[in-house]
Amino acid sequence: MKLKIVTDSTVELTDEETARYGITIVPLSSTIDGVVYHDDIEITNEEFLQKMQQSPTLPKSSQPPVGKFLETYNTLTADGSEVLSIHVTETLSGTVQSAHQAAKLADGDVTVIDSKFCARGMAFQVLAAAEFAEKASSIEEVLDHLEDIKSRTILYISIANLENMIKGGRIGKTMGKFTSLLNIKATLEMTDGKLHSDSKGRGTKSIVKRYKEICHTLHDAPKKVVAIGFTHVGMSEYSTTILELLKTTFPHVEPMVSYGSPSVMTHAGPEAISVQFLLEK
């Protein structure tokens, strides 16, 4: 089976990983102050963060158009290859829906799945698909393998600054002022593609405390941590502390550290972090 992997720019892969497996990344776009930027093309994630912090209004992120996916699929399947397209959870973006629509119109065989995660949590599946495709005899085998990867993935995201949630209307202005006054910070866990409240407390010390608990639990769990993703929206004192905690608790694993994609930044806001764990089989 000749299988090519497609994903989107919310994924966190190194250039070496992308090149090694020939992975195609279709970019999302964001609009700030009336200007449209495509991820990693006109703007880097670091530059996006600077513009986001300077803008009085919340940026708007957009999924890739159906036509872009269709063009990509037709190009990749022209030699008879199949395509597996793996995308960010639909609760954060409509990307997977655009991909589904394009797959129905494509000339070749295209399978689209919702990873139910984002960032490196999604990359765990993308890499597993690229590696397993070399020995799998059918797309069904690959999909079964990805379900196993998905079941062993854990993702937390911590919100240190409520500014974007207030701008986006996810928190009312009155409640936003109240929680900001009390210095409330929240940690969420992503399960089945949706974010659920995990813990909340006053100050970033409460976030650090929660990650100490998470690290202790995972360190002592029967299944060991084999990969870690660390996503940030601008490093700060508390996020540096958590990164060092991860390195100390799991010295056999080197966390992959990267800026969040513009879509993640827009949802989470400045100084947010996300930690993604992959457990052994």
Asked if residue 114 and residue 8 are part of one domain, the reply reads yes
Report the C-alpha gap between 233 and 216 in whole angstroms.
Answer: 25
- Name the DSSP class of 152: T
CA-wise closest residue to 10 among 114, 129, 161, 108: 114
Confidence of residue 178 (pLDDT cuts 50, 70, 90): very low
User: Is residue 33 assigned to a domain?
Assistant: no
Final residue of a structural domain among 151, 185, 207: 151
- What's the token pair of residue 235? 């490093």
Cα–Cα dist 142/211, whole Å: 33
136 belongs to a structural domain: yes
Residues 137, 175, single domain; the answer is no
**Which amino acid, residue 262?**
P
Q: Is 39 a member of any domain? A: no
pTM assigned to the model: 0.92
Q: What is the pLDDT of residue 174?
A: 45
Of the candidates 105, 124, 151, which is a domain's last residue? 151
Write the CATH number for 221.
3.30.1180.10
Nearest partner of 112 among 122, 124, 98, 123, judged by Cα: 98
CB-CB neighbours of 15 under 10 Å: 7
Query: Is there a single domain that holds both residue 245 and residue 272?
Result: yes
Q: Are residues 217 and 137 in the same domain?
A: no
Does 126 map to a domain? yes
CATH number of the domain to which 126 belongs: 3.40.50.10170
| Range with the poorest average pLDDT among 76-80, 199-203, 257-261 | 199-203
Contact 270, 53 (CB under 8 A): yes
Do residues 115 and 227 share a domain?
Answer: no
Q: Which residues contact 174 (CB under 8 A, 6 or more apart)?
A: none
Q: Which one has a higher pLDDT value, 172 or 9?
A: 9
Q: Which domain holds residue 274?
A: 153-279
Both structure tokens of 151? 């079941």
| pLDDT the model gives residue 239 | 97
Residue 253 falls within a domain, yes or no? yes
Residues 175 and 208 reside in one and the same domain:
yes
Does 163 reside within a domain? yes
Q: What element of type H or E holds 35? A: strand 35-38
Residue 112 falls inside a structural domain: yes
Confidence category of residue 163, pLDDT binned at 50, 70, 90: confident
User: For the residues 110-115, what does the mean pLDDT come to?
Assistant: 98
Residue with tokens 């969040």, as numbered in its chain: 260
**pLDDT tens column, 127-140:** 999 999 888 889 99
- Whether residues 127 and 165 fall in one domain: no
What does the pLDDT read at residue 264?
A: 83
Give 246-277 pLDDT, tens digit per residue. 999 999 999 999 999 988 888 888 899 999 99
Tell which of 128, 151, 174 closes a domain.
151
141 and 204 within one domain = no
Residue 22: pLDDT over 90:
yes
Question: How many domains does the chain divide into?
Answer: 2
CA distance 176 to 198: 19
The answer on 174 and 88 residing in a single domain is no
Does residue 182 surpass a pLDDT of 90?
Answer: no
Q: Are residues 124 and 170 in the same domain?
A: no
The residue ranges of DSSP E strands in 73-168, in sequence order, are 82-87, 110-114, 153-159
Q: Is residue 104 part of a domain?
A: yes
147 and 90 part of one domain: yes
Same domain assignment for residues 125 and 183: no
Residues contacting residue 186 through CB under 8 Å, at least 6 positions apart: 158, 159, 197, 199, 200
